[in-house]
């Protein structure tokens, strides 16, 4: 007796038959719009001209940027070795099958070798730099006295910290959340949103020194002399190119709250090992620290 299909299987099979009879062959993973030909899909990427679509169009010129964009849109860390070459990675059935799933961390080098890398110019939101600040005095409390653990960031691979790994620390997250109501007005004044959308580049950075107001937060995150930046995103953008490997601490979420494909919450810290996507509505403290104390030793 044939096995009775589940409702999900029936739905998927029906959807597959409909798509096979339609003219849709490729899907844009950012907006899920369908296209009959790959050249029309790439024309769509170029017409949209935002940072994410530009990243999806960069598979030959900057594979790491393409992969971060693709994973961020798909909500899936598909291993690079298992990702079909473009345009097959935009195949409608492949996108539907993997959209929103979570898989193992990718290995960029395995797949990137098959692409020809050529110099290219990207938009401001792809290759922007941010002002960096440096500690004048060493930061950090003695976390060992109240149950914290130390995580050395030098070198990260020896600590087995994955790209986009949340550095969970309930105590530190709670303390940051308790500090933020006192900082909200300062954050809004330091990182004001533009009232002229056509001049909005998607990233707001401080025009003043932010060292002193951020000391209480930094004292919770690391020990020693660190380098840090503060940014606010008003559009979906890429992370800064001049501080690509860093700890990102979330000070505000007004929107999807995504770093890459990782959902983040206020107070959380996440390890970012290479350039990735940042959703609109985030305020982030980005830092390179000698000894990180937020998170668990792995």
Single out the residue of 238, 236, 262, 237 nearest to residue 250, CA to CA: 262
Quick one: tokens of 17? 């038959």
User: Is the model more confident about 109 or about 33?
Assistant: 33
Whether residue 225 is preceded by a cis peptide bond, meaning omega within 30 degrees of 0, is no
> How far, rounded to the nearest angstrom, does the alpha carbon of residue 209 sit from its chain's CA centroid?
26
- Tell me which residue of 120, 101, 82, 95 sits closest to 41, measured CA to CA: 95
Secondary structure class of 165 (helix, strand, coil): strand
Q: Which residue has the tokens 């006192």?
A: 182
Looking at residue 120, what is its pLDDT?
Answer: 32
What pLDDT is attached to residue 44?
93
Picking from 67, 92, 91, the residue whose alpha carbon sits closest to that of residue 79 is: 67
Q: With 70 as the cut, is the pLDDT of residue 148 above it?
A: no
Q: Which residue shows structure tokens 């830092």? A: 287
pLDDT per residue over 230-245, tens digit each?
A: 999 998 888 988 888 8
pLDDT tens-digit profile of 44-92?
999 987 788 888 998 888 887 888 788 878 877 777 778 899 999 999 8
pLDDT band at residue 291 using 50, 70 and 90 as cut-offs: confident
The two structure tokens encoding residue 291: 């000894």
Q: What is the pLDDT of residues 79-137, one digit of tens each?
A: 777 889 999 999 988 888 888 765 444 444 444 443 333 323 333 445 678 899 999 89
């Amino acid at each position: 007796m044939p096995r009775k299909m589940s409702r999900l299987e029936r739905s998927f099979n029906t959807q597959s038959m409909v798509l096979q009879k339609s003219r849709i062959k490729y899907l844009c993973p950012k907006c899920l719009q369908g296209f009959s030909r790959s050249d029309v899909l790439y024309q769509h990427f170029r017409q949209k001209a935002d940072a994410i679509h530009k990243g999806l169009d960069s598979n030959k010129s900057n594979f790491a940027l393409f992969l971060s964009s693709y994973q961020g849109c798909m909500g899936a860390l598909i291993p690079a070795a298992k990702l079909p070459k473009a345009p097959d990675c935009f195949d409608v059935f492949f996108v539907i099958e993997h959209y929103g799933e979570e898989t193992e961390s990718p290995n960029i080098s395995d797949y990137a070798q098959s692409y020809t890398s050529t110099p290219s110019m990207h938009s401001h939101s792809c290759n922007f730099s941010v002002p960096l600040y440096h500690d004048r005095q060493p930061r950090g409390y003695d976390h060992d006295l109240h149950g914290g653990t130390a995580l050395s960031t030098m070198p990260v691979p020896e600590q087995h910290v994955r790209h986009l790994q949340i550095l969970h620390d309930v105590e530190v997250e709670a303390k940051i959340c308790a500090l933020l109501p006192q900082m909200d007005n300062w954050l809004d004044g330091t990182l004001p949103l533009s009232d002229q959308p056509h001049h909005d580049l998607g990233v707001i950075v401080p025009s003043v020194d932010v060292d002193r107001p951020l000391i209480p937060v930094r004292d919770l995150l690391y020990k020693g002399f660190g380098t840090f930046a503060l940014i606010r995103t008003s559009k979906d953008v890429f992370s800064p190119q001049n501080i690509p490997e860093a700890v990102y601490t979330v000070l505000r979420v007004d929107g999807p709250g995504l770093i890459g494909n990782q959902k983040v919450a206020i107070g959380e810290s996440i390890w970012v090992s290479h350039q990735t996507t940042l959703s609109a509505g985030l305020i982030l403290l980005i830092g390179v620290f000698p000894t990180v104390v937020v998170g668990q030793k792995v």
